[in-house]
Amino acid sequence: MTVIELLENIKNKEEYISNSLYLKSSDNFGCVYKYLKRQRNPIYAERVEIFIELNEEEGELQLLDKNVVSYIEIYPAN
């Protein structure tokens, strides 16, 4: 799976709040994205971060085209 595919999966979740996903940091080893996740009460949300480990040998590719080695949700985010 590529980074763009993983991000699309996040955006397609029912609890994802539209337009809240953004890149927090990245390098050739990994990246961190942050987004808002709707709670049961529709006026509350939680911040969520997701760390995505990248294949460091794909340094020449654009971030969104890189393959995901693994990922973990950091919950709740700061």
Percent of the chain predicted with pLDDT > 90: 81
DSSP per-residue string spanning 21-54: -EEEEE-SSEEEEEEEEE-SSTT-EEEEEEEEEE
What pLDDT is attached to residue 77? 60
- What whole-number distance in Å separates Cα of residue 59 and Cα of residue 15? 32
Q: Return the higher-pLDDT residue of 78 and 9.
A: 9
Helix (H) or strand (E) holding 73: strand 68-74
What pLDDT is attached to residue 42? 72
* Paired tokens of 4: 């763009």
Instruction: Say which residue the tokens 């996740």 belong to.
Output: 37
- What whole-number distance in Å separates Cα of residue 59 and Cα of residue 20? 27
pLDDT exceeds 70 at position 51 = yes
What pLDDT is attached to residue 43? 80
Check: CB of residue 65 under 8 Å from CB of residue 77: no
pLDDT exceeds 70 at position 57 = yes
Boundaries of every domain in the chain: 3-74
What does the pLDDT look like over 13-47, one tens digit per residue?
Answer: 999 999 999 999 999 999 999 999 998 877 888 99
